[in-house]
Amino acid sequence: MKIIGSYVSPYVRKVLACLALKGLDYEIDPITPFFGDDEFERLSPLRRIPVLVDGDLSLCDSSVICAYLDEAYPGHPLLPADPKDRARARWLEEFADSRMGDVFIWGLFYPLVVHPAVWGEKGDMARAENTLAEDAPAVLDYLEGQVPADGFLFGDIGLADISIATFFRNAALARFTIDAARWPKTAAYVARALAHPAFAGLLPFEEAQIRTTPAGRREALIAAGAPLSAATCGTATPKKGVMAL
Ligand SMILES: N[C@@H](CCC(=O)N[C@@H](CS)C(=O)NCC(=O)O)C(=O)O
């Protein structure tokens, strides 16, 4: 199996954590979506990451990929067994992918970290300020009513926990931390999830990805032990995505 996408993407991290939970081996081409060639665009028509290639099958979208992994491969189930719990887990995955993506990626990580790094100009600071003042607190108020005081949402860690927790890793890279006095359950729950080996095992690779420029990145990741694919869809010049905001 091959994953295309950067270790720093929350959606790639979600898929990699699910692969780790299931004990599945893979190769990775850790490109940033803005630096993808024509082959990347063929595999990912929206020029988004992650992409999964499994033999003759290629899939886009982290939810589609995780559903496929759970149906095609045994090992740790990503969803709970009870139909009502499964439905709630799917809703929380969707809430995370859509709303938390909007708030923590497009509203915070993108303007503060990605936009200046990729396009060499200041990101939308008004949007980032609004995220901190209104959108992020609203997400945290909702999560505080959903997450458990101990353990994970449906017993053992699963897709819903992974989908939620992954965004707080990017939020932290944009210097956002959860105020534990205001949202104590969420702060402890997210810390528990991110400390799980499925996430913690990825940290050295994320750090190698962050501290390098595209030119030296592959070597740094190989030195850190990342299972890099021999071929890459990476290019040197950035290109705007189809869904660019
Ligand atoms: N719904 C998609 C979202 C994927 C996504 O937005 N990935 C971002 C990187 S974190 C991306 O590829 N952005 C490039 C763009 O939108 O141009 C999923 O779950 O995989």
Region of poorest pLDDT, from 33-37, 151-155, 195-199: 33-37
Q: Please report whether residue 244 resides in a domain.
A: no
pLDDT at 213 over 90: no
Best probe residue, ligand 1, of 32, 46, 49 (max atoms within 8 Å of C-beta): 49
Q: Alpha-carbon distance 211 to 219, whole Å?
A: 12
pLDDT at 242: 75
The verdict on 49 and 141 lying in the same domain is no
Q: In ligand 1, which atom is closest to the CA atom of 9?
A: 10
pLDDT of residue 236: 84
Give the Å distance between the CA of 140 and the centre of ligand 1. Answer: 22
Angle at 132 between CA 129 and CA 239, to 5 degrees: 65
120/34 same-domain check:
no
Could you tell me if residue 128 is inside a domain?
yes
Please give the model's pTM, rounded to 2 decimal places: 0.96
- Residues 198-227: what's their mean pLDDT? 94
In a domain, 184, yes or no: yes
Q: Tokens for 130, please give them.
A: 């609004």
The Cα-based distances of 51 to 21, 55, 105 in angstroms read: 18, 13, 18
Residue 60 CA to ligand 1 center (angstroms) comes to: 9
Q: Is residue 236 part of a domain?
A: no
Find all residues with CB under 8 Å of 157, minimum gap 6, and list them: 21, 193, 196, 198
Q: How many Å from the N-terminal Cα to the C-terminal Cα in the chain?
A: 31
Distance in Å, CA 91 to ligand 1 centroid = 19
pLDDT for 206 beyond 90: yes
**Is 145 domain-assigned?**
yes
For the segment 84-105, the average pLDDT, to the nearest whole number, is 98
| 152 in the same domain as 193 | yes
- 245 domain residue, yes or no: no
Q: Based on the fold, state whether residues 58 and 141 are members of the same structural domain.
A: no
82/236: higher pLDDT: 82
User: Are both 141 and 66 inside the same structural domain?
Assistant: no
Residue 117's pLDDT band, with cuts at 50, 70 and 90, is confident
C-alpha to C-alpha distances, 155 to 22, 91, 167, 212, nearest whole angstrom? 16, 17, 21, 38
Residues 186 and 208 in one domain: no
Ligand 1 centre from 230 Cα, in Å?
23
- Closest atom of ligand 1 to 48 CA is 12
**pLDDT value of residue 229:** 97
Q: What is the pLDDT of residues 158-187, one digit of tens each?
A: 999 999 999 999 999 999 999 999 999 999
Q: How many angstroms does the Cα of residue 80 sit away from the middle of ligand 1? A: 26
Would you state the pLDDT for residue 244? 58
Q: Which residue owns the Cα nearest ligand 1 atom 14?
A: 48
Domains contained in the chain, number: 2
| Protein residue with least CA distance to atom 6, ligand 1 | 48
What CATH number is attached to the domain comprising 139? Answer: 1.20.1050.10
Which residue's alpha carbon is nearest to atom 10 within ligand 1?
Answer: 9
Residue 142: per-residue pLDDT:
98
* Per-residue pLDDT, 38: 95
Q: What is the pLDDT of residues 11-28, one digit of tens each?
A: 999 999 999 999 999 999
CB-count exposure of residue 124 (10 Å: 0-12, 13-18, 19+): middle
Ligand 1 pocket by C-beta < 6 Å: which residues? 9-11, 33, 47-50, 61-63, 97, 105, 241, 243-244
What's the CATH number where 21 sits? 3.40.30.10
**Same domain (yes/no): 142, 159:** yes
Calculate what percentage of the chain has a pLDDT beyond 90. Answer: 90
Residues 11 and 33 in one domain: yes
In the numeric block, which tokens belong to residue 155? 């017993």
- Residue 175 Cα to ligand 1 midpoint, Å, equals 21
- 192 plus 88 within the same structural domain: yes
**pLDDT at residue 119 tops 70:** yes
Which stretches within 55-177 are classed as H helix? 62-72, 83-95, 115-119, 125-130, 136-144, 159-173
- The answer to whether position 210 is within a domain reads yes
Q: How far is the CA of 49 from the centre of ligand 1 (A)?
A: 5
- The two beta strands, 2-4 and 27-29, are parallel
Query: Does 242 reside within a domain?
Result: no
- Residues 50-91 have pLDDT tens digits of 999 999 999 999 999 999 999 999 999 999 999 999 999 999
Task: Kindly report the number of other CB atoms within 10 A of residue 164's CB atom.
Answer: 25
Q: 142 and 100 in one domain?
A: yes
Q: Which domain holds residue 97?
A: 83-197
Q: What is the pLDDT of residues 189-205, one digit of tens each?
A: 999 999 999 999 999 99
160 and 117, same structural domain?
A: yes
Q: Are residues 33 and 88 both part of a single domain?
A: no
Q: Which residues partner with 60 through β-bridges? A: 51
